[in-house]
């Protein structure tokens, strides 16, 4: 959806260091693309003097005190904003503590959506776009996100980096689905959508509304004249709680995609805090694809293999997709069983997810695992073992984005 | 080309201007019982210096060619020299990037610290008055050099005793 | 006239006193001015670009956060230029370029590592302390004038060796000044 159609969303920029790290223009560029405007909540200087004691967190840096004071101004409604973007320098421990506590504080004391991010001088607008898009969507379209049932005849296409998924839904039921590897974005979308329509026995013209999501959402959305073009944080949260039938109350959604993964803290189907990993492919579906090849099994068999193995029997020195796989191959050479290696692969991805993503999200039950990798049985098992809680993998969990898009698109069906 | 000479001239003019006169900005903070910011501003307007003046709650922000700004700020300081304070500012007066309305809400980063320092200015002003009243600088210097020698001896002794 | 580094680097009081007593305050505002009035760049508000944290690598290693290195790209060159310094302990809340305490710790360390005369004073909290504060600073700055005047040192000449010797002498002078101020305390009513 082009930004000029949307009303401006006011986002409080609660940050330390962004103006001095060379990333401020990138932030501004990303905000502009989603028609958001950063504002800097006004605070009284006397408040800043005492904020450490009042907030309970005494830090040395002035800008971090200012962050706490600004968060308080937002929570107390002194500064009216639609969302909050909390961001500090990557590798600063003092700032990381403040960033996390300020985010929790806002989350606990208000309904204002919050995202947090730690930047380096290399952080680009592109990296922030999906995050800011999700933030502005929650602010702008709460009514749309309140939808709990699919109505009419709608479709959703999830153009992912590795696979493209499509579903057709009618009266709250999936009546057709398509799933193809992503080669060329539009061709793959055409294929997946055609598969879904064929299975549903409906024509394109009959479909009342279409939603697109995933990496290729803009291109695919434009091509099919979609009513809804939406990033995957919002869509997948909605899709996950819908499929898991946990639309009310808290939930945590973990989505392990082909190239990246997401951890989203959801309340009443609306994403609150979330994190996205996108730097290392070692924590993604790609890792499973590669290890399946090395084990000589189809990726669909990897999970069954993994649940029979013991990850403890295999030593892995790295999460890296290159060195990690090297470790696994070496284990095989030393006589480890394929079952143990498959289990270790699943555990490696989950452990990395735990260390990099789940630290920034409050994990609340139910924990819903979605995305193609959730179908590899060893993955939910490893997650459950690590977190010591039950993991829900809803039916059609690999179609989560397409289902979420079809569900949300039904908000555009003429009554 | 009709535009060539014009733009060429302008460029040359600008170059000359840039070289001779770098634009600077000063914040003048007035903590005086005798001089009000408005008086100071009037004095600058009357002086016809080619500078931009912006009145603020603390005093004035003056932007213009370096020599003019330096001269203007010195003249203003002399209106009540121990109670008028001057510092540089990075952004020119009224720069949008530091404007509250454009930035959306909160003031520019230096504002809070400036406000804290302004609270201290009456005491600093008094201290400067006192320093002046305490006698001619010669006396201070004499006092200083006398102490300097004795203290130096003591320090040398302690250092050597190590 | 010596170039005097001040901490906090954006202090009105320190910049004013240094100038008042005949020296040149090295202030971050002038660094910011260079940035924001250079029209070839457009990276509002302070025009720090991703290149600046790389310049900051001269003062801090790559594992130091980008915000610290970006700030150091502004402040580091001032420290390199400094011929004397005044450091105020416990200044009131600081934001912006001095809003990061890690940067502040680093810049004070780098200043102290230099062989230059340094005055360290406490931020005044009362009228009495303000008098002490102003007096200490005035004595320090006047001594700097004398020291540089006597030897006819031109700070711009780059006569580093001679100046270093002078600076070392002044460093001892720093101790003298502090002591002297102790005795002065009794004189102040």
User: Is any Cβ of chain B less than 8 angstroms from the Cβ of C93?
Assistant: yes
Chains that touch B (3 or more CB pairs under 8 A): A, C
Residue window 92-131, chain B: list those with CB within 8 Å of chain A. Answer: 103-107, 109, 112, 115-116
Mutant choice from A16, A42, A70 vs B, greatest count of B C-beta within 10 A: A42
Residue B7 predicted with pLDDT over 60:
no
Where chain A has pLDDT below 70, the residues are 1-6, 278-281, 414-415
Q: How confident is the model at residue B147 (pLDDT cuts 50, 70, 90)?
A: low
Residues A284, A353 contacting (CB under 8 angstroms)? no
Q: For residue A124, is it left (φ>0), alpha (ψ between -120 and 50) or beta?
A: beta
Q: How confident is the model at residue C20 (pLDDT cuts 50, 70, 90)?
A: very high
What fold is seen in the domain A3-140? Rossmann fold (3.40.50)
Quote the ipTM score.
0.76
Which of A25, A45, A89 comes nearest C66 by C-beta? A89
Give the residue-averaged pLDDT of C132-147: 90
User: Is any Cβ of chain A less than 8 angstroms from the Cβ of B16?
Assistant: no
Residue of chain B whose Cα is closest to the Cα of C36: B91
Residue range A153-233+400-412, CATH number: 3.30.420.40
User: Is any Cβ of chain B less than 8 angstroms from the Cβ of A10?
Assistant: yes
Which of C10, C27, C124 comes nearest B120 by C-beta? C124
Could you tell me the two tokens for B38? 């408005």
Alpha-carbon gap, residue A319 to C69, rounded angstroms: 29
Round to the nearest angstrom and report the end-to-end CA distance of chain A. Answer: 22
Q: How confident is the model at residue C43 (pLDDT cuts 50, 70, 90)?
A: low
User: Is any Cβ of chain C less than 8 angstroms from the Cβ of A289?
Assistant: no
Which of A41, A45, A63 comes nearest B105 by C-beta? A41
Residues A184, A210 contacting (CB under 8 angstroms)? no
Give the domains, in start order, of chain B with CATH numbers: 20-135 (3.30.70.930)
Mutant choice from C4, C45, C123 vs B, greatest count of B C-beta within 10 A: C45
Alpha-carbon gap, residue A81 to A243, rounded angstroms: 32
Q: If you count residue pairs, one on A and one on C, with CB atoms under 8 Å apart, how many are there?
A: 106
Q: How confident is the model at residue C188 (pLDDT cuts 50, 70, 90)?
A: very low
Q: How confident is the model at residue C17 (pLDDT cuts 50, 70, 90)?
A: very high
Verify whether the Cβ–Cβ distance B91 to C97 is below 8 Å: no
C17 or A341, greater pLDDT: C17
Domain of C158? 3-187
Which strand (E) or helix (H) includes residue A170? strand A163-170
SS3 content of chain A, % helix, strand, coil (to 5): 50, 20, 30
Question: Do A248-393 and A153-233+400-412 fall under one CATH topology?
Answer: yes
pLDDT for the residue B140? 43
Q: Which CATH architecture has domain A248-393?
A: 2-Layer Sandwich (3.30)
Verify whether the Cβ–Cβ distance B107 to A38 is below 8 Å: no
> Using a CB-CB distance cutoff of 8 angstroms, which residues of chain B are in contact with residue A48?
112
Residue C165 predicted with pLDDT over 50:
no
Mutant choice from B59, B87, B90, B136 vs C, greatest count of C C-beta within 10 A: B90
CA A372, distance to chain mean position in Å, is: 14
The 10s digit of each residue's pLDDT in A190-215 is: 999 999 999 999 999 999 999 999 98
Give the residue-averaged pLDDT of C43-68: 85
CA distance to partner chain A, nearest, from residue C109 (Å): 16
User: Is any Cβ of chain A less than 8 angstroms from the Cβ of C74?
Assistant: yes
Residues A398, A166 contacting (CB under 8 angstroms)? no
Q: Where along chain A do its domains lie? A: 3-140, 153-233+400-412, 248-393
> Using a CB-CB distance cutoff of 8 angstroms, which residues of chain C are in contact with residue A29?
none
Verify whether the Cβ–Cβ distance B107 to A79 is below 8 Å: no
C105 or A142, greater pLDDT: C105
Rg (CA), chain B: 23
B136 or C147, greater pLDDT: C147
Chains that touch C (3 or more CB pairs under 8 A): A, B
pLDDT for the residue B128? 92
Alpha-carbon gap, residue C99 to C85, rounded angstroms: 20
Q: Are strands C118-122 and C84-89 parallel, antiparallel or unpaired?
A: parallel
Q: How many helices (H) and strands (E) does chain A have?
A: 15, 14
Q: How confident is the model at residue C179 (pLDDT cuts 50, 70, 90)?
A: very low
> Using a CB-CB distance cutoff of 8 angstroms, which residues of chain B are in contact with residue C143?
144
**Which residues make Cβ contacts (< 8 Å) with residue C88, sequence separation at least 6?**
C6, C7, C8, C11, C14, C120, C121, C122, C123
Residue of chain A whose Cα is closest to the Cα of C104: A61
User: Is any Cβ of chain A less than 8 angstroms from the Cβ of C102?
Assistant: yes
> Using a CB-CB distance cutoff of 8 angstroms, which residues of chain C are in contact with residue B108?
96
Alpha-carbon gap, residue C159 to B119, rounded angstroms: 42
> Using a CB-CB distance cutoff of 8 angstroms, which residues of chain B are in contact with residue A8?
none
What domain count does chain C have?
A: 1
Verify whether the Cβ–Cβ distance C96 to B152 is below 8 Å: no
pLDDT for the residue A111? 85
> Using a CB-CB distance cutoff of 8 angstroms, which residues of chain B are in contact with residue C138?
131
User: Is any Cβ of chain B less than 8 angstroms from the Cβ of A78?
Assistant: no
User: Is any Cβ of chain A less than 8 angstroms from the Cβ of C45?
Assistant: yes
**Which residues make Cβ contacts (< 8 Å) with residue C15, sequence separation at least 6?**
B86, B87, B88, C6, C25, C27
Chains that touch A (3 or more CB pairs under 8 A): B, C
Collapse the DSSP code of A224 into the 3-class scheme (helix H, G, I; strand E, B; otherwise coil) and give the result.
Answer: coil
Alpha-carbon gap, residue A332 to A343, rounded angstroms: 13
Reported pTM: 0.75
Alpha-carbon gap, residue A5 to A221, rounded angstroms: 15
Round to the nearest angstrom and report the end-to-end CA distance of chain C. Answer: 32
User: Is any Cβ of chain A less than 8 angstroms from the Cβ of C99?
Assistant: yes
């Amino acid at each position: 959806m082009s930004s000029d159609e949307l009303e401006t969303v006011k986002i409080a920029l609660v940050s330390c260091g962004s103006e001095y790290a060379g990333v401020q223009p990138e932030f501004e560029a990303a905000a502009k693309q989603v028609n958001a405007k950063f504002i800097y909540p006004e605070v009284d200087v006397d408040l800043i003097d005492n904020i450490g004691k009042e907030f309970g967190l005494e830090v040395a840096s002035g800008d971090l005190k200012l962050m706490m004071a600004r968060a308080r101004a937002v929570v107390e409604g002194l500064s009216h904003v639609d969302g909050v973007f909390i961001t500090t320098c990557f590798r600063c421990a003092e700032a990381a503590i403040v960033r996390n506590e300020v985010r929790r504080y806002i989350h606990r004391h208000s309904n204002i959506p919050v995202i947090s991010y730690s930047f380096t001088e290399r952080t680009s607008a592109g990296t922030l776009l999906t995050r800011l898009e999700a933030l502005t969507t929650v602010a702008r379209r709460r009514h749309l996100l309140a939808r709990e049932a699919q109505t009419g005849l709608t479709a959703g296409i999830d153009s992912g980096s590795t696979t493209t998924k499509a579903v057709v839904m009618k009266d709250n039921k999936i009546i057709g689905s398509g799933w193809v590897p992503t080669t060329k974005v539009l061709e793959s979308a055409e294929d997946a959508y055609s598969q879904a329509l064929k299975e549903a026995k409906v024509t394109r013209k009959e479909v009342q509304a279409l939603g697109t999501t995933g990496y290729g959402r803009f291109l695919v959305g434009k091509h099919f004249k979609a009513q809804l073009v939406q990033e995957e944080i919002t869509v997948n949260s909605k899709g996950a709680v819908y499929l898991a039938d946990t639309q009310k109350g808290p939930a945590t959604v973990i989505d392990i995609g082909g190239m990246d993964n997401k951890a989203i803290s959801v309340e009443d189907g609306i994403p609150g805090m979330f994190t996205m990993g996108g730097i290392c492919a070692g924590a993604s579906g790609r890792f499973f694809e590669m290890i399946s090849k090395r084990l000589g099994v189809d990726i669909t068999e990897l999970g069954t293999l993994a649940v029979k193995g013991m990850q403890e029997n295999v030593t892995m020195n790295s999460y890296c997709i290159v060195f990690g796989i090297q470790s696994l191959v070496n284990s095989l050479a030393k006589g480890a069983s394929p079952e143990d290696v498959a289990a270790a692969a699943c555990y490696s991805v989950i452990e990395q997810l735990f260390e990099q993503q789940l630290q920034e999200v409050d994990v609340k039950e139910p924990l819903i695992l979605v995305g193609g990798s959730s179908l590899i049985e060893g993955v939910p098992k490893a997650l459950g073992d690590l977190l010591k809680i039950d993991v829900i993998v809803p039916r059609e969990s690999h179609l989560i984005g397409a289902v979420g898009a079809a569900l949300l698109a039904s908000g555009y069906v003429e009554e | 080309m009709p535009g060539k000479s014009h733009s060429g001239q302008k460029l040359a003019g600008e170059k000359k201007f840039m070289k001779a006169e770098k634009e600077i900005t000063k914040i003048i903070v007035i903590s005086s019982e005798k001089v009000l910011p408005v008086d100071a501003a009037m004095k600058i307007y009357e002086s016809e210096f080619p500078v931009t003046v912006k009145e603020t709650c603390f005093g004035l922000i003056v932007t213009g060619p370096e020599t003019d700004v330096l001269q203007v700020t010195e003249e203003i300081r002399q209106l009540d020299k121990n109670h008028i304070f001057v510092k540089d500012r990075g952004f020119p007066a009224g720069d949008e990037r530091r404007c509250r309305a454009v930035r959306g809400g909160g003031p520019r980063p230096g504002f809070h610290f400036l406000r804290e320092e302004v609270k201290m200015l009456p005491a600093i002003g008094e201290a400067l008055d006192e320093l002046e009243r305490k006698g001619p600088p010669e006396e201070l210097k004499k006092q200083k050099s006398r102490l300097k020698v004795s203290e130096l001896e003591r320090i040398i002794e302690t250092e050597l005793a190590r | 006239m010596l170039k005097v580094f001040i901490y906090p680097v954006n202090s009105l009081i320190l910049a004013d006193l240094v100038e008042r007593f005949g020296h040149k305050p090295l202030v971050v505002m002038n660094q910011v001015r260079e940035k924001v009035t250079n029209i070839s760049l457009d990276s509002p508000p302070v025009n720090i670009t991703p290149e600046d944290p790389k310049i900051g690598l001269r003062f801090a290693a790559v594992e130091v956060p980008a915000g610290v290195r970006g700030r150091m790209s502004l402040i580091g060159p001032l420290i390199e230029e400094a011929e004397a310094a005044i450091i105020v302990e416990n200044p009131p809340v600081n934001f912006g370029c001095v809003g990061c305490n890690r940067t502040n710790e680093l810049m004070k360390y780098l200043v102290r590592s230099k062989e230059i005369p340094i005055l360290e004073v406490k931020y005044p909290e009362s009228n009495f302390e303000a008098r002490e504060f102003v007096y200490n600073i005035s004595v320090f700055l006047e001594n700097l004038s004398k020291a540089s005047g006597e030897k006819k040192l031109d700070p711009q000449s780059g006569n580093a060796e001679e100046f270093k010797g002078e600076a070392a002498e002044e460093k001892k002078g720093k101790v003298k000044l502090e002591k002297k101020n102790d005795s002065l305390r009794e004189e102040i009513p």
